[in-house]
Amino acid sequence: MARTVTGWVGWVWFAAFGLLTVGLFNLVAGLVAAFSSQHVLAWTGEGVAIVDVSTWGWVHLVLGLLLVVAGFALFGGSAWARYTAVVLVVLNMVAQFVSLPTTPWWSVVVIALDLVILWALIVHGAEVERSLA
């Protein structure tokens, strides 16, 4: 049986490059926030909360590192890399959603890119596995 590879496989390579890009974005944002001594006031229904930006920076830093590793692993076309990437992209979407009040435009752009990456991995990822098998 001949394996046919269509142009849709390119979307998975796009997703791998997208993961690298989003991961690097997170690494830069995480580094800036992790080493910041700034605190943010957040108004809640219960009162005012003081949020330490550096703690949230470490979350972005670790998530960014994992996204970069998953992006490189995705170039191999393995199923575990695709499944891991899907979980990490969803986690990144949640992290960006939480960051919406502080960085609204940046978060919306990254969430939109995450959606395209998620679509590419879920819809076209299996074809890459078949083409490498």
pLDDT tens string 69-101? 999 999 888 889 899 999 999 999 999 998 887
Local structure of residue 75 (DSSP, 8 states)? T
Structure tokens at 1: 């049986």
pLDDT in the model for residue 24? 95
Kindly report the length of the chain: 133
Residue range 21-40, pLDDT digits in tens = 999 999 998 898 888 776 66
| Distances from the Cα of 40 to the Cα of 4, 27, 56, 61, angstroms | 54, 20, 11, 19
CA distance 100 to 105: 8
- ∠ Cα 109 36 60 (to 5°): 40
Model pTM score: 0.82
Q: Are 12 and 73 in contact (CB under 8 A)?
A: no
